[in-house]
Structure 1
Amino acid sequence: MSETTLQTWQTTLRPVGALDGWAGRFAELPDSVSLLAEPFHAMVDARTTDPAALEGLVGAPLPGPNAWRGGERVTAIWLGPDEWLLTSPFCTPAELEAAAREAGAAAVPEARLAVVDVSAQRTTLRLRGAHARDVLETGCAIDLHPRSFGAGSAAVTLLGQAGVVLLGLGPSDYRIVVRSSFAAYLAEWLLDAATEWR
């Protein structure tokens, strides 16, 4: 392959999600259960001994257990005691990874920091509507009542048989981050779970 051909491919190809062809099936759902595949987002898994190392990149303190926090360009999701998932629709995966490394090194040089691009590993779904929580509760064991899982909440959990990161965005509004290899399974599961509200 010539260098010109490679450069042409790199400038004309766009990142796509695992569920890019599902819009028609999702559109068949009623307004009370809306499902859509969100556009491709850069995602970086970051582990650090000092959360302050990444505050400059996020634009806010990193969230604590079972929470997420969004800045102007980067969202941080708590995954574990020293681990966060950073996401951004504004950066390429390479840019987000480099920015996380640079922010960590500049802010707290002595902090241990590991950053890995996981953008191709996961895809994102948005579920909302009056019956969104009802759909999730048919296959998720955590308490999703708004007093327990409201806006700003996050959980690493099972939905159906798929491991997901579930984010509470507001009343009856959720973001579901799932491994790309499970995306089609989860989409079928959600469509089936929403059947009674069609």
Structure 2
Amino acid sequence: MHDLAALTPLGAAAPRTDRVGAISVTEVTDRAIASVSTRNGKAKPFATAAKALFGIDLPAPGQSAAGPVWTLIWTGPDQWFAEAPFATHEDIAAIAKDALGDTASVTEQTDGWVRFDIEGPTAVDMMERLCPLPARRMKTGAASRSIIEHMGSLVICRAEGRHFSVIAPRSFAGSMHHALMASARSIA
């Protein structure tokens, strides 16, 4: 019998949280992710099915929307990341595909990405050093693709000026963590 154990993107048994001054950098592993794209010619039935499944309106470009269970993050034209608690949505792609039917293309993304949450009163200062986004002007719910230390990333403002999420390919987890910690130390 195999003796397999799940590991976080940083290679540990449990997610990591680091504190530097007033900033915390937390590896988030309790969210499942699926990519959801509207199929050509199915925009109206997709919008109806999506509202029924997610319970929230689809966010506009550059935005995210959070409901009691689901969070949707705009990632491109007619395309979103759907996040939900891993404990209840481990098979998130199947759940979404069942509800959206032939109106959407759905792919599992959970293990392909790493998410770090940056929180604290100086989080916006840290984000300004990390990427070329106007972090100080980002409102709660803003979401944008960006580059952090040459790594393609998705940045979400979860709470204006004090809580941001950075989502990057899982293969960059160690490098992204290093970049985040270096930035946190630079403002401590």
- Alignment TM class, shorter chain as reference: 0.7 to 0.9
1:67 aligns with 2:63: yes
Q: What is residue 100 of structure 1 aligned with on the other side?
A: 96
Counterpart Cα distance in 1 of 2:186 and 2:35: 37
Counterpart Cα distance in 2 of 1:19 and 1:55: 35
* Cα RMSD for the two superposed structures: 2.1
Q: Where does the alignment leave 5 or more consecutive residues of structure 1 unmatched?
A: none
CA contact (8 A) 2:34 2:81 kept: yes
Counterpart Cα distance in 2 of 1:142 and 1:71: 25
Q: What is residue 175 of structure 1 aligned with on the other side?
A: 165
Q: What is residue 112 of structure 2 aligned with on the other side?
A: 121
Corresponding letter in the other structure for 2:98: E
Q: What is residue 72 of structure 2 aligned with on the other side?
A: 76
Q: Which moved more, 1:178-187 or 1:35-44?
A: 35-44
Identity of aligned residues (%): 21
Q: What is residue 186 of structure 1 aligned with on the other side?
A: 176
Corresponding letter in the other structure for 2:55: G
**TM-score, reference length from structure 1:** 0.81
Deviation of residue 144 (structure 1)?
1.2
Counterpart Cα distance in 1 of 2:150 and 2:105: 29
For residues 129-182 of structure 1, the C-alpha deviation after alignment (integer angstroms, 9 at most, x for no partner) is 12211111113111112xx31101101111121111111011311111111111
CA contact (8 A) 2:26 2:118 kept: yes
CA contact (8 A) 1:74 1:87 kept: yes
Counterpart Cα distance in 2 of 1:37 and 1:194: 15
Higher Cα radius of gyration: 1
- Written as runs of structure 1 = structure 2, the 5 A alignment for 1:31-180 is 32-49=22-39, 50=43, 51-52=46-47, 53-89=49-85, 90-94=87-91, 96-105=92-101, 111=103, 113-145=104-136, 148-170=137-159, 171-180=161-170
Counterpart Cα distance in 2 of 1:178 and 1:58: 23
Q: Secondary structure at the match of 1:138?
A: helix
Q: Structure 2 vs 1, CA of residues 41 and 16 (structure 1 numbering), >3 Å: closer, same or farther? A: farther
Between structures 1 and 2, the one with greater strand share: 2
Corresponding letter in the other structure for 1:118: Q
After TM superposition, the runs of 4+ consecutive aligned structure 1 residues lying more than 6 A away are none
Q: Which moved more, 1:151-160 or 1:130-139?
A: 130-139
Counterpart Cα distance in 2 of 1:179 and 1:93: 19
For residues 4-36 of structure 1, the C-alpha deviation after alignment (integer angstroms, 9 at most, x for no partner) is x46xx6xx85x4421364737x13x11x22111
CA contact (8 A) 1:16 1:39 kept: no
The number of equivalent residue pairs is 178
